[in-house]
Structure 1
Amino acid sequence: MCNMAAYAGAEPAAPILLRLIAAQEGYGGGHFTGLATIHEGRLHVAKVVGDCATLIRETPAAELPGTVGIIHSRTPSAPLQEWAQPFLAWNDQVAYQANGSQGVFKGTVDYDAIYDRLRAQGASFRSEVPREVKSYPLLANGHSVHTSDLLGGLIADNHVRLGLDLAAAMRAGVSEAPSEIAALAVSAREPASVSAIRLGTPLMWGYREGAGYLATSALAFAEEGLAGIQPVPAGCSAVLTASGLDCRPFSGRLGRTCPVRPWPEVCRILDEVLADGEPHHVGGLAKALNGLWPAEYLSESVMLAYEYVRIECLAGRLDVIRSEVPASRPGAKAPQWRFVRRKDG
């Protein structure tokens, strides 16, 4: 799965965000990278088909102004730059990004109806292409639009035309078009905060005096000197500021989370998987946990796999094997990192 991060504080956001994504991209991203910051009432965006180093080398990402922002690194797909996240809405007021999949909500969303309604309001979609893109919905007109671009447009419409604050706009958008995701968004109209959604897919909160952080995995926080780290509660929306994280749970199906995390079973299963001494990707470790969540609950298998490997790495019982694989960008390589049990661990 993809990786992402957010920062809200007093320091320049771009260098921190780049550091956070560089610490995660090999766990599931590295094929596309993008960054958005807020400064003086404007959103500033840079993105590429490529890894974090490519983003720094080919764009002014490291110099984007502002002390609040979001960043994303994604998995393989067609090498289209506008399919990198975050997605800037047509009105230039909202940048939105997400990780995850439709999951248990697959087949429940009428993407054509959302597309048609937003087009009637004057919306356009930067990711739209006149052909099918594998793994994404094919619209009735024969075009494909990245689902996060479509949802970002819906959120921007809720926020700007309907006048909802960004957190409420995200809640309304995700309620209409649910998926098993974690999502982050920033608004030019709300310069001091990042709005977030977590529906099962991992999202961790870190904090220190005067600064707040979010990341797919707390492995991203290793060099940040944080005072504390906590998971963002599953099945909720949240607003990150420099002073804290304000969370609000969803009701109904979107808020249906397992009341007890099966941590002992997670440790037993992953101890057994890693006992073979072979390198394992975090996605494979998460799949080994899938049966632990009843179908009526949002699964937290990826988050607990990430937390297991973080704890084991900190304890010196796992090593990270870093390699490269062919990237979505022709002729390029993308990082791939896997975990292996240390022989003395």
Structure 2
Amino acid sequence: MCGIVGILGTSDVADRLFDGLKRLEYRGYDSAGIATLHDGRLERRRAQGKLVNLGRLLAAEPLPGRVGIAHTRWATHGAPTEDNAHPHTAGRVTVVHNGIIENFKPLREELQAQGRVFLSQTDTEVVAHLIDSALDATGDPQAAVRAVLPRLHGAFALAILFRDHPDMLIGARLGSPLVVGYGGEDEGGETFLGSDALALAPLTQRIAYLEEGDWVVLTREGTQVFDRDNMAVERPITISGVTGALIDKGNHRHFMLKEIFEQPIVVAQTLRSYIRPLEEQVALPDMDFDLSSVERVTVVACGTASYVGMIGKYWIERFARLPVEVDVASEFRYRDPVLLANTLGVVVSQSGETADTLAALRHMKQHGVTTAGIINVPTSSMAREVDLLLPTHAGPEIGVASTKAFTCQLAVMAALAINLARAKGKLDAAEEREIVHHLLEVPSAISAALAHDDEIKAMAGTIAGARDVLYLGRGPDYPLALEGALKLKEISYIHAEGYASGEMKHGPIALIDEHVPLIVLAPSGPLFDKTVSNMQEAQARGAQVVLISDADGLAQAGDDAVATIEMPKVHPLIAPIVYAIPVQLLAYHVAVAKGTDVDQPRNLAKSVTVE
């Protein structure tokens, strides 16, 4: 995850900005930069690689100035070069940015038509140009930001410097966290911006968490927060209690909830590392083998990650027309699998250290299989041993029950499926452009799904009293039903099972009565009618149905459900990523209602390093 630090100070800020970046290193990054204002000039220092490189540059070329912004960047759109490193400057405006601007391409084309020249490949530079252009019309930084924010589609956190206003910082957030820090009297009234409280821990413990759609103006006279409707609001100041040794839960009760709400930004960052929006293509990292030679795919994983493999099977077989086998890692070696030539073996793991999956990886390599790894920790054993590392950019996941790692893994699996399809000649340029368009919609669709948190919380009590819960889905929603059941089991200790909806009448329907809630995942589309038919069979036998669908689906089939959860209407390709959100939130709120240990459920560990 990228990181942001901003300081409106009473003395030079560069050293403290650099220290804040060091506290954000846990998020992962491959370039960094700092910008300050001094004597009417905007100055920047940016460096590729680790912070030590930026430190050397600052030592050689110090940055004076009492106001500044800083950033650590994971290369997403655009290589990890100095030109693509943040901060980005356009005229009088300098910006750092976490997230994704989904509509940056038409905005960039509009600005280029006005004669504006771009120096990077990033979407962030578009924001700087837009605000600078708005300054031409308004002459007022606040008015310029107010005009530009509604034009930005996606998930973002922004910190903005203005060359002609050395006593001002502006921040904004939508789908990506941003906090305001308030200095005490000893700090002379300094104020700060940060990705989280950890970045600001040495500067202040007095923190206000901006809410979705907020933007904030920091000046020497004070701080003013505005909501998405540009109304002045107050956000409570809390004492963070964060030290450099802690990863902060922010204003969330549990790490799991924080990580669920981080998904718009981390999925955006993950997708952006595989999508080339200007070319409208999906790309993978450089590799030493030819994807066109792949004749079959074997996916090996454990638990939640294995459901990523099952969803990937639907995608790869549909788009690339390659046969796919999905194996539970703990069983893989012991059945002595037949590993044929030209097989691509894919391992999926958050930690990259899962013992069963690591052993399966080594077994495949011993038999000459080319391997790829969808992994969240780039320094892990699996990441070092696979032939092709396909990193997720979920950042540290503290909650034992995987949430943001799961959706980021799905994003990478989709990228792999599309690349295999193109390599096998099964996907033309027009089809790939359409897929890129849908993938770029994912972060905002996740944000829309998260907006239903309160209604999911309200219905959780109904599920919390159950002894057994069943989940149903068809197609790619079948593995998602398995994942929903696993989440509920993991953290609420309620027995739950997931089924392909068409299999209900082949046995599981015997479990149905009025005491068994039935969670049905049914986005409208080609499989909707069949799923609803299976749901109605269960309702006829007393099942208490919770229907998760879009507006069209709920209008058609939601009348007899005891509860409904409305999702945004999305393309079937991205539906499993979006529909992961309500099953995660439902499991979380049921567990909270039952009073279980959400982040550290009994008998479970985050990384299973024993067989």
CA distance in 2, matches of 1:262, 1:81: 34
Label 1:80 to 1:21 Cα distance change in 2 as closer, same or farther (>3 A). Answer: same
CA distance in 1, matches of 2:257, 2:2: 26
- The answer on whether the counterparts of 1:196 and 1:237 sit within 8 Å (CA) in structure 2 is yes
Q: 1:164, CA displacement in angstroms? A: 4.0
Task: Specify the alignment match of 1:136 in structure 2.
Answer: none
Task: Specify the alignment match of 1:130 in structure 2.
Answer: none
Higher strand share: 1
Task: Specify the alignment match of 1:173 in structure 2.
Answer: 148
Task: Specify the alignment match of 1:131 in structure 2.
Answer: none
Report how many aligned residue pairs link the two structures: 265
Counterpart among 142, 153, 175 of residue 129 in structure 2: 153
CA distance in 1, matches of 2:395, 2:171: 23
Q: 1:99, CA displacement in angstroms? A: 0.2
- The answer on whether the counterparts of 1:186 and 1:195 sit within 8 Å (CA) in structure 2 is yes
Task: Specify the alignment match of 1:295 in structure 2.
Answer: 449
Query: Quick one: which amino acid aligns to residue 234 of structure 1?
Result: E
5 Å matches for 1:1-345? 1-29=1-29, 31-59=30-58, 63-77=62-76, 78-89=79-90, 91=91, 93-102=92-101, 106=102, 109=103, 111-112=105-106, 114-127=107-120, 145-159=121-135, 161-208=136-183, 209=185, 210-224=189-203, 226=204, 228-251=206-229, 263-264=252-253, 282-285=395-398, 288=403, 295=449, 297=451
Label 1:10 to 1:285 Cα distance change in 2 as closer, same or farther (>3 A). Answer: same
CA distance in 2, matches of 1:269, 1:239: 25
Residues 146-203 of structure 1: per-residue CA shift (max 9 Å, x gap): 11111211111111x2134223322322211222110011011111011111113111
Q: 1:212, CA displacement in angstroms? A: 0.5
Q: 1:76, CA displacement in angstroms? A: 3.1
Q: 1:262, CA displacement in angstroms? A: 9.6
- The answer on whether the counterparts of 2:255 and 2:398 sit within 8 Å (CA) in structure 1 is no
Higher helix share: 2
Query: Quick one: which amino acid aligns to residue 146 of structure 1?
Result: T
Query: Quick one: which amino acid aligns to residue 238 of structure 1?
Result: V
- The answer on whether the counterparts of 2:27 and 2:395 sit within 8 Å (CA) in structure 1 is yes
Give secondary structure in 2 for the equivalent of 1:169: helix
CA distance in 1, matches of 2:36, 2:257: 41
Query: Quick one: which amino acid aligns to residue 124 of structure 2?
Result: S
CA distance in 2, matches of 1:35, 1:167: 22
Give secondary structure in 1 for the equivalent of 2:449: coil
Query: Quick one: which amino acid aligns to residue 183 of structure 1?
Result: L
Q: 1:115, CA displacement in angstroms? A: 2.6
Give secondary structure in 2 for the equivalent of 1:126: coil
Residues 269-289 of structure 1: per-residue CA shift (max 9 Å, x gap): 98xx99xx9998745458626
Label 1:41 to 1:216 Cα distance change in 2 as closer, same or farther (>3 A). Answer: same
Give secondary structure in 1 for the equivalent of 2:167: strand
Residues 109-154 of structure 1: per-residue CA shift (max 9 Å, x gap): 3623x33332243311111xxxxxxxxxxxxxxxxx3111112111
- The answer on whether the counterparts of 1:167 and 1:237 sit within 8 Å (CA) in structure 2 is no
Residues 268-325 of structure 1: per-residue CA shift (max 9 Å, x gap): 898xx99xx99987454586269997626399x9xxxxxxxxxxxxxxx99xxxxxxx
- The answer on whether the counterparts of 1:194 and 1:239 sit within 8 Å (CA) in structure 2 is yes
Q: 1:59, CA displacement in angstroms? A: 4.4
RMSD: 3.7
Label 1:67 to 1:340 Cα distance change in 2 as closer, same or farther (>3 A). Answer: farther
Query: Quick one: which amino acid aligns to residue 288 of structure 1?
Result: T
Label 1:124 to 1:212 Cα distance change in 2 as closer, same or farther (>3 A). Answer: same
Q: 1:14, CA displacement in angstroms? A: 0.8
Label 1:251 to 1:297 Cα distance change in 2 as closer, same or farther (>3 A). Answer: farther
- The answer on whether the counterparts of 2:86 and 2:95 sit within 8 Å (CA) in structure 1 is yes
Label 1:203 to 1:269 Cα distance change in 2 as closer, same or farther (>3 A). Answer: closer
Task: Specify the alignment match of 1:322 in structure 2.
Answer: none
- The answer on whether the counterparts of 1:211 and 1:243 sit within 8 Å (CA) in structure 2 is no
Q: Flag structure 2 segments of 5+ consecutive residues without an equivalent.
A: 231-249, 260-303, 305-349, 355-375, 378-393, 408-445, 454-580, 582-598
Q: 1:204, CA displacement in angstroms? A: 1.3
Identical counterparts, % of pairs: 26
CA distance in 2, matches of 1:212, 1:186: 14
Task: Specify the alignment match of 2:373 in structure 1.
Answer: none
CA distance in 2, matches of 1:241, 1:185: 12
Q: Flag structure 1 segments of 5+ consecutive residues without an equivalent.
A: 128-144, 253-260, 302-316, 319-338
CA distance in 2, matches of 1:298, 1:85: 34
Provide TM-score, normalisation by structure 2: 0.39
Provide TM-score, normalisation by structure 1: 0.66
CA distance in 2, matches of 1:269, 1:172: 30
Residues 17-61 of structure 1: per-residue CA shift (max 9 Å, x gap): 1111111122132x1111111111110111111222211213458
Structure possessing the higher radius of gyration over alpha carbons = 2
Give secondary structure in 2 for the equivalent of 1:83: coil
Q: Which has the higher contact order (CA 8 A, sep 6+)?
A: 1
